[in-house]
Amino acid sequence: MDAKERSSDKAAQEMIERMAKAGQQNAWDRLDLQKPQCGFGKQGVCCRICAMGPCRITKKAKLGVCGADVDTIVARNFLRAIAAGVAAHSDHGRTVAEVFIATARGEAADYKLKDTTKLFKLAEEMGVETKDRSVNEIGVDVGLIALGEFGKPEGTQLMARRAPASRQEIWNKLGVTPRAVDREVTESLHRSTMGVDQDYKNILNHASRVALADGWGGAMLATELQDVLFGTPYPGRGEVNMGVLKKDEVNIIVHGHEPILSEMIAAASQDDELLGEAKKVGANGITVAGTCCTANELLMRHGIPIAGNFLNQELVIATGAIELMAVDVQCVMQGLSTVASCYHTKLVTTADKAKMSGIEHVTIDERDALNTAKKLVRMAIDNYKNRGDVYIPKDKKAAVGGFSFESINYMLGGSFRSSFRPLNDNIINGRIRGIVGVVGCTNPKMPQDLTHTTLTRELIKRDILVLTTGCATIACAKQGLTNPKEALELAGPGLREVCEAVGIAPVLACGSCVDNTRLLVSCSELVREGGLGNDMSELPVAGVCLESVSEKALAIGQYFVASGALVVFAEEVMPILGSENVSDYLFNGIEKDLGGHWAIESDPVKAAEMIIEHIEGKRDALGINKEAERKLYDMEDRRALTVE
Ligand code: BF8
Ligand code: SF4
């Protein structure tokens, strides 16, 4: 297959060709070798939960050996995938909580509770006394309460109280208000084992509950605690794509998800002693760049460059310019070890729960984090002399990141009174038609980045503000869409006017995948601010991910649906179509229960149309389209009067 069909990213195309010439394999090649992929898996109709199986549902065999029907099997698989996604985000959150507590207790000297304003806000929300207490004392209590949310024996998620009252009522009525994360994940596995829950709607209800434990629990806590620990992001500049690598410097890639590691490597790379050592080996400096969500975390907080998203991870190594790639958890392809072995690149795993066979492991211990990071940087410096042939594509774009909930609030409301009011007003007056979250991965089944960027262009052209997270953010940034200068040219007149006045791009980079919770908090605030209905399901908003890869994306999709939003995925990545009942419930029926629903569309332009129609429908229902029309009519009237 031609490199252009594999990726819409020019730098990636060059690297794909370079790897092909060298006879090296990447994800696209492995996908080709997997073809044709299993139709049963794609439809979600294969079950291997018990030893009477594996069973798969066909025209001839309509039931599994235990008698499970297609609805049960598809729903169970969907629930299990979501539970795995929830476990991933939430385990990340739990690690952050542990480091947070160690920091507050003074056991992790290299970290600090940086954002005390946010700490005090969290303390208030959690009922932690702040009067006459030190930051660290408050921090210990906040950290312990947060850690409790993952496994507390009783009660529901504290963060779920951030949702509008109407939303909480809907959850309570349906019995899906999330309890402890561990409990919801455990119950997901229990319910979906052989011979337990056999009512697809009941299974899907729990899919909502476990997903909500992520969105309004584990992942939200990950974001909140990271903000306190590393600083709440505010808009800042950075650069994106492989052109950020430097031919004459030691290049280090940090890849994965938890900023615990990358924050320290970024700090270590600025150490004078290490910079001196780099000089001694003939390098002009040390460049740290990120891939995947870790990259978003670093761009958001420090403006550290991004080398690429999920499908770039192998390509980056093939530049021959990477001295060391340090990985922690999630979305780390095992294929990296093969590519790294073709170059001088040292691949190092750092999380004890995520090792790779035959790959060096250096544990990041929070009690000695900076020294561990320095050790890794030193390994990179030592490796500089082993470089062979280097080819770095030139492509890179200026990007702006850093749109936390707090910074959006600040940018819009100004320094005197941070507020969502101007955003609500501009949605009501129709300059901004609505808000869409363009999120998620890059999948070799589709040309890399193309659906995210085509869709985003369509949306901003039609005056829809785009908030983006995860690898979709990097896709947009690679094409200049998060850069106000370039992107404003592509925005519709209303959106452009608002963005120009505030000084932002029409596409706001909101961070990593756990940071999708920033979007939930923003939706909640849109309701609270007033004028856009009483519940999140009334808002002119939607979420979309057409290049999804990970189970985490399904968890995110489900918690947005269960929070009242429309969520659009591509058919190729939605393993539920084997059951008409499950599909019908997720595409339609669930709306009656939770106000949101799933939809399938693979074509980005058609997906944009679908979303716009949904947004206009919500606007009609709110009566704000009528208001805008009436205003226009009044103006015409007035003009007519003046002429007379
Ligand atoms: O959590 S967007 S490929 S990197 S799963 Fe993975 Fe998907 Fe990228 Fe981050 Ni999110
Ligand atoms: Fe087959 Fe039922 Fe066992 Fe699944 S649980 S493998 S459908 S027998």
pLDDT tens, residue by residue, 603-615: 999 999 999 999 9
Identify the pLDDT of residue 417. 74
Ligand 1 binding pocket includes 441 (Cβ within 6 Å):
yes
Res 641 pLDDT > 50: no
pLDDT of residue 634: 52
- Residue 549 Cα, ligand 1 centroid: separation in angstroms? 7
If you measure from the C-alpha of residue 501 to the centroid of ligand 1, how many angstroms do you get, rounded to a whole number?
Answer: 32
Question: Closest Cα to residue 245, out of 300, 308, 294, 332?
Answer: 308
Burial of 298 from C-beta contacts in 10 A (0-12 / 13-18 / 19+): buried
**What is the model's pLDDT at position 644?**
32
Quick one: pLDDT at residue 643?
A: 37
Tokens encoding 372: 């561990």
Query: What span, in angstroms and rounded, lies between the C-alpha atoms of 513 and 67?
Result: 38
pLDDT band at 418 (very low <50, low <70, confident <90, very high): confident
> How many angstroms separate the alpha carbon of residue 551 from the centre of ligand 2?
22
The stretch 376-382 carries a mean pLDDT of: 98
Centroid of ligand 2 to alpha carbon of 52 (angstroms) = 6
pLDDT, tens digit, 9 for 90 and up, residues 426-465: 999 999 999 999 999 999 999 999 999 999 999 999 999 9
Helices (H), 52-127: 70-104, 116-126
At 454-496, the pLDDT tens digits run 999 999 999 999 999 999 999 999 999 999 999 999 999 999 9
Q: Which ligand is nearest to the CA of 257?
A: 1
pTM of structure = 0.96
CA angle 5, 9, 10 (to 5 degrees): 95
| Residue matched to tokens 């109280």 | 161
Q: What is the mean pLDDT of the chain?
A: 96
Q: Which atom of ligand 1 is nearest to the CA of 331?
A: 6
* 400 neighbors 484 (Cβ within 8 angstroms): yes
Average pLDDT over residues 292-313: 97
Please choose from 471, 518, 556 the residue to mutate so as to test ligand 1's pocket, defined by most ligand atoms within 8 A of CB: 471
In angstroms, the CA 110 to CA 103 distance is 8
User: What are the C-alpha distances in Å from 131 to residues 128, 139, 161?
Assistant: 9, 13, 23
**Contact between 136 and 106 (Cβ < 8 Å):** yes
Q: How far apart are CA 126 and CA 138, in angstroms?
A: 11
40, 48, 52, 192: residue to mutate for ligand 2 pocket, most atoms within 8 A of CB: 52
Per-residue pLDDT, 8: 98
84: its two tokens:
């795995």
The number of the ligand 2 atom at minimal distance from the alpha carbon of 54 is 6
Distance CA 13, CA 26 (A): 12
| 192 token code pair | 């979906």
Atom 2 of ligand 2 has which residue's CA nearest to it?
Answer: 66
Q: Indicate the angle between helix axes 259-268 and 219-230, nearest 10 degrees.
A: 20
Ligand 1 atom 9: the closest Cα is on which residue? 293
Is residue 638 predicted with pLDDT exceeding 50? Answer: no
> Three-state DSSP class for 8?
coil
Residue 412: predicted pLDDT = 84
Residues with CB under 6 A from ligand 2: 47-50, 52-55, 64-66, 68, 73, 194
Largest CA distance in the chain: 86
Closest atom of ligand 1 relative to the 548 alpha carbon = 7
Are the C-beta atoms of residues 28 and 447 closer than 8 Å to each other? Answer: no
Report percent pLDDT > 70 for the chain.
Answer: 97
Task: Considering only CA atoms, give the Rg of the chain.
Answer: 24
The crossing angle, in degrees rounded to 10, of helices 135-151 and 116-126 is 50
Q: Is the CB of 292 under 6 A from ligand 1?
A: yes
Residue to substitute in 311, 313, 449, 513 for testing ligand 1 pocket (most ligand atoms within 8 angstroms of CB)? 513
User: Using CB atoms within 10 A of its CB, is residue 459 exposed (0-12), middle (13-18) or buried (19+)?
Assistant: buried
Confirm if 287 and 309 have CB atoms less than 8 A apart.
no
Contact 123, 145 (CB under 8 A): no
* CB distance 293 to ligand 1 below 6 Å: yes
Q: What is the pLDDT of residues 52-76, one digit of tens each?
A: 999 999 999 999 999 999 999 999 9
**Residue 470 Cβ < 6 Å to ligand 1:** yes
Contact by Cβ (8 Å): 335, 269: no
**Pocket residue to mutate for ligand 1, from 92, 292, 554, most atoms within 8 A of Cβ:** 292
Distance of CA 448 to the CA centre of its chain: 17
CB-based contacts of 522-528 (< 8 A; 24+ apart in sequence):
522/405, 522/408, 522/420, 522/435, 522/467, 523/563, 523/564, 523/565, 524/162, 524/163, 524/164, 524/167, 525/405, 525/409, 525/420, 526/420, 526/423, 526/424, 526/427, 526/435, 527/164, 527/166, 528/164, 528/420
Residue 626's pLDDT band (cuts 50, 70, 90): confident
Mean predicted confidence (pLDDT) in 225-230: 98
**Per the omega criterion (within 30 degrees of 0), is the bond before 54 cis?**
yes
Q: What is the pLDDT of residue 415?
A: 58
- Other Cβ atoms within 10 Å of 52 Cβ, number: 12
Ligand nearest to the CA of 470: 1
Ligand 1 pocket member 545 (CB < 6 A): no
Mean pLDDT in residue range 188-202:
98
Which residue has its alpha carbon closest to ligand 2 atom 3?
A: 50
Residue 633: the pLDDT is 47
Domains and CATH numbers, the chain: 3-47 (no CATH), 62-230 (1.20.1270.30), 242-386 (3.40.50.2030), 403-546+601-622 (3.40.50.2030)
**Is residue 637 predicted with pLDDT exceeding 70?**
no
Please give the C-alpha separations between residue 536 and each of 99, 484, 613, in angstroms, as whole numbers.
Answer: 33, 28, 17
What's the pLDDT at 362? 97
Q: For ligand 1, say whether the CB of 312 is within 6 Å of any of its atoms.
A: no
* pLDDT on residue 93: 98
Q: Which ligand is nearest the CA of 441, by number? A: 1
Instruction: Outline where DSSP puts E strands in 453-558.
Output: 464-469, 507-511, 541-545
Ligand 1 proximity of 513 Cβ (cutoff 6 Å): yes
Nearest CA to ligand 1 atom 7: 441
Coil/strand/helix, residue 170: helix
Q: What is the pLDDT of residue 631?
A: 52
Bridge partners (DSSP) of residue 306 are 240, 290
HSE at residue 197, side-chain half, CA atoms within 13 A, is: 23
Query: What number is the average pLDDT over the span 635-639?
Result: 50
- For residues 188 and 411, which has the higher predicted lDDT (pLDDT)? 188
- Classified as helix, coil or strand, 578 is coil
Distance 615 CA to ligand 1 centre (A): 26
Q: Is 233 helix (H, G, I), strand (E, B) or coil?
A: coil
DSSP annotation of 234 reads -
CA dist., res. 179 & res. 222, Å (int)? 17
CB burial string 564-594: b at 16+ within 10 A, e below: bbbbbbbebbbbbebbebbbebbeebbbebb
- Measured from the alpha carbon of residue 332, the closest ligand is 1
Predicted pLDDT at 1:
79
| Side chain identity, residue 468 | T
What is the token pair recorded at 492?
């519709």
Q: Please, which pLDDT band fits residue 120 given cuts at 50, 70 and 90?
A: very high
Gap from CA of 581 to ligand 2 centroid (Å): 19
Ligand 2 centroid to residue 334 C-alpha, Å? 30
Rounded to an integer, the average pLDDT of 372-385 is 98
Q: Whose Cα sits closest to atom 3 in ligand 1?
A: 441
Q: Length of the chain in residues, anyone?
A: 644
Per mean pLDDT, which range of 44-48, 180-184, 381-385, 412-416 is the poorest? 412-416
